[in-house]
Chain A
Amino acid sequence: AQSVAQPEDQVNVAEGNPLTVKCTYSVSGNPYLFWYVQYPNRGLQFLLKYITGDNLVKGSYGFEAEFNKSQTSFHLKKPSALVSDSALYFCAVRDADSGTYKYIFGTGTRLKVLA
């Protein structure tokens, strides 16, 4: 069965510092991995995805994520955090070998960037 774990409910970081939001996954086949962001009073928006290829994926708003197959992780990173990055972040996985387009989302991590 597919599963996603986001071990931190909340991450606090000072503006200008690097940030990391953690995600680990479990699928029986090849993983397709995604990050979505939910800003206050707005719908979820796609940030980036890993399908195949380079393990470092770059996405919107300066975010990037690193796929690590041996550690089954897909951590979201940004070199320099902005106050406007404060939001709820969700990691999601799809089993590319399952024959379906069913996604499993993590429980979310609230990022708070302090000025």
Chain B
Amino acid sequence: GAGVSQSPSNKVTEKGKDVELRCDPISGHTALYWYRQRLGQGLEFLIYFQGNSAPDKSGLPSDRFSAERTGESVSTLTIQRTQQEDSAVYLCASSLVTRDIQYFGAGTRLSVL
């Protein structure tokens, strides 16, 4: 079956512009995660959705970052007024919580000029 799909794969934007990143999880996966991976660094937790529960937003670095999820399907991560330090690979993962294994997408590489 299809894996986790992220789009776009690459995004180049100018400082101050807004960007929207999309994640299509594996069908039936109730949990969805967003991470940020800066060059040469580890995965930084951003936000987590689980079913109809309120999302855990504790990792969002500033109020410029927001994310939404429609039911148990698509999620979008929005970064407003992008800054150069937002340049990173943004990874999405989905999971069946009963299995406790995350399946990752290929990521969106964001470059803010």
Which A residues lie at the B interface, using CB under 8 A? 6, 32, 34, 36, 42-46, 49, 51, 90, 92, 94, 100-108
Tell me, in angstroms, the Cα distance from A34 to B56 when the chains sit together: 20
Q: A44-B104, A45-B104 are in contact. Are A103 and B45 (CB under 8 A)?
A: yes
Counting contact residues on chain B (CB < 8 A from A), the size range is 20 to 34
Q: A51-B100, A100-B56 are in contact. Are A43 and B43 (CB under 8 A)?
A: no
Closest 8 CB pairs of A and B: A107-B42, A105-B43, A44-B104, A43-B104, A108-B42, A46-B101, A43-B106, A101-B97
> Chain B contact residues: over half helix, strand or loop, or mixed?
strand
**Which A residues are in CB contact (< 8 Å) with B95?**
101
5 contacts between A and B (CB under 8 A): A43-B106, A44-B93, A102-B58, A103-B45, A108-B41
**Which A residues are in CB contact (< 8 Å) with B78?**
none
**Which A residues are in CB contact (< 8 Å) with B65?**
none
CB atoms of A102 and B91 under 8 A apart: no
